[in-house]
Structure 1
Amino acid sequence: MSASIHRLAGRPAPSLDPMIALVADDMNAVNAVILSRMHSQIPLIPELAGHLIAGGGKRMRPMLTLASAKLLDYTGNRHHRLAAAVEFIHTATLLHDDVVDGSDLRRGKRTANIIWGNPASVLVGDFLFSRSFELMVEDGSLKVLKILSSASAVIAEGEVNQLTAVRRVDLGEDRYLDIIGAKTAALFAAACRIAAVVAERPEAEEMALDSYGRNLGIAFQLVDDAIDYVSDAGTMGKDTGDDFREGKMTLPLILAYARGSADDRTFWKDAVEGRRDGDDDLAHAVRLLRDTRAIDDTLARARHYGQRAIDALGGFPAGKAKDALVEAVEFAVARAY
């Protein structure tokens, strides 16, 4: 599913363009909701929120809600507000994450916490969470409220789990997958699943879309964690090696540590605990990751989860919506190539 395979087959590299085209009209309605609900009498709130929301993100999560609704031939408009709620949850978590991580860059731009400070970023994140819950309540479905509120709680749990795992070289693969399943995949899953609820489709279809989103989210995060070591700020929108300097044990490091020599393990322990975080140390880390095939195998895992996402769509009818959802998975994985 890599871009190189697509080119060899005479196909263009996968992209989100089919999904963007599929949901363009719906996305205009979602953007109108976002702009309306970002408004506040306190000027700093729309200024800071707008910096991130208008900052070049792909809006993948709300697009998944809209594309899933298209897949189900839903003809109402409840999904517009709910897609906006999904985007607000995502944006709020980004604002909080950047404060926790002390990040300087987000999507190639200075983070809100660097411009306005940590307190403002945390409080505007709280504002956006509150707006998302207003939108859920207005929808009137207790089931939708339960799905999205549960996802919000799971995301917070995942962030706390990750926080307590920072600089822990003994972090295992199972706990890592628990973390990314919570902090990333939970919102992907909920974003897709709520479309089946508003379309009043059977629970089997609801859970199929949940599985699609969850596996896509895991694949998406695995790729992010791999290309943190082999990309640059222009591609990733953040500095190469941010995870390394922050002492995050992502899957590439977990695999390299497990496969390394005694000297390699000593290096990884020193690096993760913050004693080896210079540019030369990062270069050495990248060499070890390549030598142990940790990057390649992380991306192989991403392809595995990507295929599981595609398989979850097997029971839905062929058409533009299904094609766009499949290509979104291929795009998520192909970013690494």
Structure 2
Amino acid sequence: MGLDKSATKPHEALSAVLAEDMAAVNTLITQRMASKHAPRIPEVTAHLVDAGGKRLRPMLTLAAAKLCGYTGPFHIHLAATVEFIHTATLLHDDVVDESGQRRGRPTANLLWDNKSSVLVGDYLFSRSFQLMVETGSLRVLDILANASATIAEGEVLQLTAAQDLRTDESIYLQVVRGKTAALFSAATQVGGVIAQADEDFVQALYDYGDALGIAFQIVDDLLDYQGDSAVTGKNIGDDFRERKLTLPVIKAVAKADAEERAFWVRTIEKGKQVEGDLDHALSLLHKHDTLSATRQDAIAWADKAKDAIALLPDHDIRKMLADLADYVVARIS
């Protein structure tokens, strides 16, 4: 069941329940991405922010706060913070990956230049810290500052690990926890913290975000080899062509004989790819059943996410969050 063909879309249900709060988040984002002295900042930011996307991460913050009974104003600040951090990382990622397209549109670095993308990303990181401070919560600042550092660390680790056949599943998980799951878990955790929820609840929200983020990234990596390009917005095998050692390939390398390992060394480590290599890579993934094994890993992480919030109060939002975990892996069902 493809993501866009599913009859049930939990992110849309969440969006409807949180519509008023999300409108306030969007207003705050617009206000804070403005710059009196550098008009390129709102130009570049608006290009990415207005490109669509589900705004999943800020919605997770709002949902967590609502689930924990928060009635104050600062969940709006935190949701905007999370979105600014996410947008900043996208701007930087597109420069690092030399990407030309995101969400079906030309990337900012293509329309403007790399310098603009990097510096505007830096500006958004700075804005995110201003928003954090306004909440007056040192713990919130600690959580989101640590998440920002972890994201950067994960991206740097990926630079060295992505083309090294010694990269195993534990290193892959470390990368994923950095580049993706860290912001998911921080987004849910700060929602509980700002609501002054019990520590068990805050930990449950953190565990949910962590597991959901890992499942989300594993699914993304799997779709690169078996997704529908019209739905995913990326071509089959982009990760292979970019020499990214993701979970399906890591599993195949672990089972490779000498001839197969030589193929992976040539195509991934050395980057010497020729016509037909992608088809051969796909045949090896099917031979060792690594696509199915990767799918099972994603489902297991989605189950962990659901288990994590089982102790939270019985609430419509809790059910939506559980449905969201199922929905993430429905893309590969």
Q: Is the 8 A contact 1:168 1:249 kept in 2?
A: yes
Alignment match, 1:184: 180
Determine which of 7, 29, 33 is the counterpart of 2:24: 29
Show structure 1 runs of 5+ residues with no match: none
Aligned-partner Cα distance in 2 for 1:194–1:31? 19
Tell me by how many angstroms 1:274 deviates: 4.3
Structure 1 residues 140-219: aligned runs within 5 Å: 140-219=136-215
Q: How far apart are residue 173 of structure 1 and its match? A: 0.8
Over 3 Å off, 4+ runs: 11-15, 274-279
Q: Which amino acid aligns with 1:314?
A: A
**Aligned-partner residue type, residue 16 of structure 1:** H
51-60 or 126-135: bigger deviation = 51-60
Please say if residues 267 and 276 of structure 1, whose CA atoms lie closer than 8 Å, have aligned partners that are also in contact: no
Q: Structure 2 CA distance, aligned partners of 1:50 and 1:321?
A: 30
- Percent of aligned pairs sharing the same letter: 50
Does residue 1:38 correspond to 2:46, yes or no? no
CA contact (8 A) 2:172 2:247 kept: yes
Q: 2: distance between equivalents of 1:23 and 1:30? A: 10
Contact 1:193 1:210 in 2 (8 A): yes
Give CA deviations for 1:255-302 in whole Å, capped at 9, x if unaligned: 011123322221111110244435521122122212211111111101
Distance, in Å, in 1 between the alignment partners of 2:93 and 2:275 is: 24
TM-score by length of 1: 0.94
State the distance in 1 between where 2:162 and 2:251 align.
16
Alignment pair present for 1:81 and 2:77: yes
In the alignment of these two chains, the number of paired residues is: 330
In the aligned structure 2, how far is the partner of 1:45 from the partner of 1:291?
A: 49
Query: Which residue of 1 is the match for residue 293 of structure 2?
Result: 297
- Distance in 1 (CA, whole Å) between partners of 2:323 and 2:251 is 28
Deviation for aligned residue 1:28:
0.5
Deviations 1:217-261 (A, max 9, x none): 000000001101122443223333222122111111000111233
SS of corresponding position for 2:226: coil
Amino acid at match of 2:195: A
Q: 3-state DSSP class of the match of 2:146?
A: helix
Aligned residue for 1:16, secondary structure, equals helix
After the TM superposition, which of the residue ranges 254-263 and 152-161 deviates more from structure 2? 254-263
Contact 2:79 2:187 in 1 (8 A): yes
Deviation at 1:111, TM superposition (A): 1.1
Matched residue, 1:106: 102
TM-score relative to the length of structure 2: 0.95
